[in-house]
Amino acid sequence: MGHVVTLFLMEEYPHFYPENDTYGPIEGIKVVELKWKHKELFKASKSEIKAVLGGFDIYCGSEFAPAFLFKAGLPLHIFIPIGTDLIDYPFQKPKGLIPPTWAIDEYQFHLYQKGGIRNAGAIFMNLNGDVNLENAVKKIGFKGQRFPVSLPYLYLPDYVSEKAVSMYETEISELRKKYKLLLISHGRCEFLDKDSVHYKGTEIMLEGVATYVQSGNTDVCLVMTQYGNDWKAAKDLAGKLGIAEHIHWLPQCGRKEIFPILKYFDAGFGTLSYPHWSYNVAMELLAAGVPLIQKGPSDPSNSKIYPFMKGRNKIEVSEILDSLIHKESIRNINNSVLVDWFFTRQIEPALLGLKSCIEHIKTATRTSHNLVKVQWIYFRSFLYFLSKVKLSILKGKR
pLDDT of amino acid 329: 63
Q: b/e per residue, 262-283, with b = 16+ CB within 10 A?
A: bebbbbbbbbbbbbbbbbbbbb
In DSSP terms, 61 is beta-bridged to 79
Contacts of residue 334, Cβ cutoff 8 Å, sequence gap at least 6:
289
pLDDT of amino acid 302: 59
Confirm if 85 and 110 have CB atoms less than 8 A apart. no
Q: Per-residue pLDDT averaged across 3-14, rounded?
A: 90
Separation of alpha carbons 185 and 181, rounded Å = 14
* Residues 240-260: tens digit of each pLDDT: 999 999 999 999 999 999 999
Sheet holding 145-147, edge to edge: 60-61, 78-79, 122-124, 145-147
* Residues 304-333: tens digit of each pLDDT: 788 899 999 999 999 999 999 887 666 556
91 C-beta neighbours (distance < 10 Å), count: 13
Which residue ranges form the domains of the chain, and what is each CATH number?
A: 36-151+366-395 (no CATH), 163-340 (3.40.50.2000)
The pTM (predicted TM-score) of the whole model is: 0.85
pLDDT of amino acid 301: 58
- pLDDT category at 182 given cuts 50, 70, 90 is very high
Confirm if 320 and 293 have CB atoms less than 8 A apart. yes
Which is nearest to 21 in space by CA: 173, 192, 156? 156
Contacts of residue 309, Cβ cutoff 8 Å, sequence gap at least 6:
267, 291, 292, 293, 294, 300, 320, 329, 333
Query: 30 φ, ψ to 5°?
Result: -90, 130
Q: Per-residue pLDDT averaged across 341-360, rounded?
A: 90
Which is nearest to 188 in space by CA: 224, 214, 153, 218? 224
Residue 390 predicted with pLDDT over 50: no
Residue 123 predicted with pLDDT over 50: yes
Q: Per-residue pLDDT averaged across 325-349, rounded?
A: 80
Residue 276 predicted with pLDDT over 50: yes
Confirm if 179 and 192 have CB atoms less than 8 A apart. no
